[in-house]
C-alpha cells in the first residue's frame, strides 16, 4: 500500500506560529488567512493537521499553558530565595513576557478571555479559557496557604484574597503592556504590591 504524502512542515513550529497570531489578535480577529500566512502553510494543510479554526485555537491555547506558564511558576517556589524575591522574580518574568515586542504584547489568555463576553468564542474554546483562568488563582492560593514565610507573615489567613490581588495586578499589567506602558513603570506597581504584602 502506498504511504501518504509526507508533511512538508513541522507541526510544532506551525502551532507556535498560530499561537503568536492569536496572542496578537485574539480569537475573533485572527482570520484563517492571518493564521496560514504566519504558519507558512495553506488552508488544506491546516485543516488536515489541526482541524478547523476552533480546534487550532484550542491546541494553541493548550500550547501556551504548557510552554509559557511553567517557567514563571517555577520562580515562585525557587529554593534559597526569600518570598519577596520569589514574588518579584515571578511577576517581573511575566511582565517581561507581556512587554516583549516580538510577541503580541500583553497576555494571550487575558486577551482571549476578554472576548468571552461577546459570545463569539466557540464552546470548547470557551471552556478551556475559563479553566485556564482558574490556574493562576489556584497556584497563588497554594503558595499563600503552604509557604512557611507566607504563614509566618500570616498571609495564609487571606490566601485567596492575596492570590486574587496578585492575579488582578498581572491582568492589569497585561493590558498596560499592550498599551505601551514601559516595563520600568510596571515594575513600580509590582514593587508596591509586594511591599504591601510582605511588610510585617
Residue boundaries of the structural domains of the chain: 11-198
- 155-195: per-residue pLDDT in tens? 999 999 999 999 999 999 999 999 999 999 999 999 999 99
Q: Return the C-alpha cell found at 174.
A: 497585561
What's the CATH class of domain 11-198? mainly alpha
User: Mean pLDDT in the chain?
Assistant: 91
DSSP state at residue 157? G
Cα–Cα dist 178/111, whole Å: 10
> Residue 7 — pLDDT band, cuts 50, 70, 90?
low
- 101-153: per-residue pLDDT in tens? 877 688 999 999 999 988 888 899 999 999 999 999 999 999 999 999 999 99
CA distances from 72 to 47, 65, 125, 140, 178 (A): 32, 11, 24, 12, 19
| CB proximity list for 130: less than 8 A, separation 6 or greater | 113, 116
pTM for this structure? Answer: 0.87
Amino acid at each position: 500500500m502506498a504511504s501518504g504524502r509526507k508533511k512538508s512542515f513541522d507541526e510544532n513550529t506551525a502551532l507556535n506560529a498560530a499561537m503568536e497570531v492569536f496572542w496578537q489578535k485574539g480569537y475573533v480577529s485572527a482570520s484563517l488567512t492571518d493564521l496560514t500566512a504566519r504558519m507558512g502553510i495553506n488552508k488544506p494543510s491546516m485543516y488536515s493537521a489541526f482541524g478547523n479554526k476552533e480546534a487550532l485555537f484550542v491546541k494553541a491555547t493548550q500550547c501556551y499553558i504548557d510552554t509559557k506558564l511553567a517557567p514563571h511558576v517555577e520562580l515562585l517556589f525557587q529554593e534559597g530565595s526569600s518570598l519577596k524575591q520569589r514574588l518579584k522574580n515571578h511577576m517581573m518574568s511575566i511582565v517581561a513576557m507581556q512587554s516583549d515586542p516580538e510577541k503580541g504584547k500583553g497576555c494571550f489568555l487575558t486577551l482571549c478571555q476578554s472576548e468571552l463576553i461577546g459570545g463569539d468564542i466557540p464552546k470548547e474554546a470557551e471552556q478551556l479559557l475559563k479553566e485556564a483562568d482558574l490556574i493562576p488563582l489556584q497556584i497563588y492560593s497554594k503558595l499563600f496557604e503552604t509557604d512557611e514565610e507566607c504563614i509566618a507573615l500570616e498571609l495564609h489567613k487571606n490566601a485567596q484574597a492575596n492570590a486574587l490581588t496578585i492575579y488582578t495586578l498581572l491582568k492589569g499589567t497585561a493590558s498596560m503592556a499592550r498599551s505601551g506602558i514601559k516595563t520600568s513603570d510596571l515594575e513600580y506597581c509590582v514593587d508596591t504590591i509586594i511591599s504591601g504584602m510582605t511588610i510585617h
